[in-house]
Chain A
Amino acid sequence: MNRKLLSKAVSDIDDRFIVEAYNHRSEGTYDVPERIAHMKPKRVITFFLAAVLVLALGITAYAEGWISPIFHRMQSIFVIPDGTEGVSPQYASDLENRLDLYSQAEQYMNENKPEPETVTLPEFDNSSLTLSERFYNGEVLMLGIDLNAAEPEMIAGYEPDEKLLEKIKYVAFFHDVNGDDDLDTLLENGMTREIYDDYLEKRTDYAKEFDFRHQSAIFLDWMLKNELSAEKYEEAWALLRKTGHICAVKSVIYIGDHITMDDGTDIGPTGQQNMDSSDPAAHSGNIFIEANELPDAAKNLGELNIRLSLKKMRIYYYMELGGPARFYSELIGEEVLPFTVQNSIK
């Protein structure tokens, strides 16, 4: 790789992105959402009350995105650079069409105001899911979902039985069973000295004390430090020193990627966007889901009956002192939730 030309490639990115980042640099108010350890406190405003307030203030609900905040926000999430420099006309056109669709979806919500539907699931630690926004025009399905997923704290110090441990130790954090993420091996195989030094430097004090040299172990230690309270982190390390190993467990609840029709037909690939957090590990919050490659069976219906899948997964993280970190995930619960979405055109 030619460093000069890579540098040039990055240098020439679009002006808009440079200005956007500059504004955040200057203001210093760019807010990286913290990991959600507990359910967020919510200010509850019914759509009806919101509409009354908005009308009383003389501000259109459309402009403020009160009624359809998720579809409204989706219109500002993508940036269409001015001109065609650096972006092909086709791609710019595709982005324009996409934004137009989000606008139609918001307009539909504003005009029809379908009631939100909430489902609470005791088996999922009383997590709740609200279908708050929906749009189906016969070709595309869009959903706006407010997911309040319970996220119990990570537990460190779990002792898996032999069978489970065998499953956990099968795959290393970053590599398959034959991989090796020892930094010295990676250095021999092309990692630059600067990145190598950076990893070693950024280890926590404990990781340095025990000279962690596996990329996965360094990451797991970071994760423990971020996820556990200071006290629990110290306890985890006390256990690790004593026994030479540590296993941490966490549960996550999330909306599954596959949405089906009543008869089990998969409606095709879906894209999910968490509107409240760009942290890929965050599962709660306002979630936008789009399915724009519907199969023929799902197209041009008067209404589309869908089944969302809410899943509960348990993830085990494991490491032994001096070795790589492993992880293993297993599905421990699934709930299928039916909803009906009217065709906006018919």
Chain B
Amino acid sequence: MISLFFERSEQAIAELDRKYGAAVRRTVSNILPDRADVEECVNDAYLAVWNTVPPNSPDPMISYVCRIARNIAVNRYHSNSAEKRGGNYSVALDELKECIPSGVSVESAYDAKELTEAINRFLAGISKDDRVLFVRRYWYADPVNKIAADTGSNPDRISVRLFRIREKLRKKLKKEGLIV
């Protein structure tokens, strides 16, 4: 697929959409409730991929395009009234905020980078099951019901497990001195 982008082939976007369109749309629609917004973000993401490949040669492509789409969706979420209307992404973000108690601020880009590094270290040190659950909920913003349905579990059980993972993260951040 990368070669199609490098060749500037008209098939490149079609192939990207065929292979990853479902995943990209699902990721974006987890964040933005409005269908029109979703399609717009997906199109913007594809355009961004077209404009940046080449010179970039992303591997794997899935994380590249999902990351672009997610960032576009999150920016739109923060900038328009989507944030005020709540929704699944808002709930997921608020769950994560529980890990970082009030009174401690992540106010600068540097702080955000430090937090990213801490989260990466945390994810590297937990089991694969827990890691997938965490990333599905807080990066892909998959609803709890969806995760439960995909995994043959029930939403209550998934919620309890997420709670415990967040507790582990909170303890980890505390141990690293990022929170008191």
- A: residues with CB less than 8 A from B are 1-15, 17-22, 24-26, 28, 30-34, 77-81, 86-88, 91, 95, 190, 192-195, 198, 202, 204, 219, 222, 225-226, 273, 278-280
6 smallest CB-CB distances across A and B, nearest first, come from A21-B135, A9-B115, A278-B129, A86-B120, A278-B127, A18-B63
Partner of B112 from the list A5, A91, A95, A193 (CB cut-off 8 Å) is A5
- Secondary structure of the A side of the interface? helix
Which of A14, A19, A22, A226 gathers most chain B CB within 10 Å? Answer: A22
* 17 further contact pairs, Cβ within 8 A, besides A2-B106, A195-B94, A226-B157: A1-B102, A3-B93, A5-B108, A6-B96, A11-B67, A11-B139, A14-B120, A22-B140, A25-B142, A192-B97, A194-B94, A195-B98, A222-B160, A225-B156, A226-B154, A273-B127, A278-B130
Known: A7-B78, A24-B132. A13 touches B116 (CB 8 A): yes
A208 to chain B, nearest CB (A): 13
A331 to chain B, nearest CB (A): 23
B131–A20 contact, CB under 8 A? yes
Contacts of A78 in B (CB 8 A): 124-125
B97–A20 contact, CB under 8 A? no
The residue of chain A having its C-beta at the shortest distance from the C-beta of B142 within the complex is A25
Q: Which of B9-17, B32-40, B42-50, B145-153 lies at the interface?
A: B145-153
B62–A19 contact, CB under 8 A? yes
B23–A32 contact, CB under 8 A? no
A323 to chain B, nearest CB (A): 21
Q: Does B8 contact A (CB under 8 A)?
A: no
Partner of A5 from the list B95, B107, B117, B136 (CB cut-off 8 Å) is B107
A202–B155 contact, CB under 8 A? yes
Interface size for B (C-beta < 8 A) is 68
A81 to chain B, nearest CB (A): 6
B156–A91 contact, CB under 8 A? no
Q: Does B70 contact A (CB under 8 A)?
A: yes
A10–B62 contact, CB under 8 A? no
User: CA A238 – CA B124 in complex, angstroms?
Assistant: 46
User: CA A21 – CA B131 in complex, angstroms?
Assistant: 8
A5–B111 contact, CB under 8 A? yes
Q: Does B52 contact A (CB under 8 A)?
A: no
Contacts of B93 in A (CB 8 A): 3, 6-7
A133 to chain B, nearest CB (A): 18
B172 to chain A, nearest CB (A): 12
The residue of chain A having its C-beta at the shortest distance from the C-beta of B118 within the complex is A9
A195–B95 contact, CB under 8 A? yes
Contacts of B113 in A (CB 8 A): 9, 12
Q: Does B123 contact A (CB under 8 A)?
A: yes
Partner of B139 from the list A1, A10, A204 (CB cut-off 8 Å) is A10
User: CA A9 – CA B114 in complex, angstroms?
Assistant: 8
A21–B136 contact, CB under 8 A? yes
Contacts of A22 in B (CB 8 A): 23, 62-63, 66, 140
Contacts of B152 in A (CB 8 A): 31-32
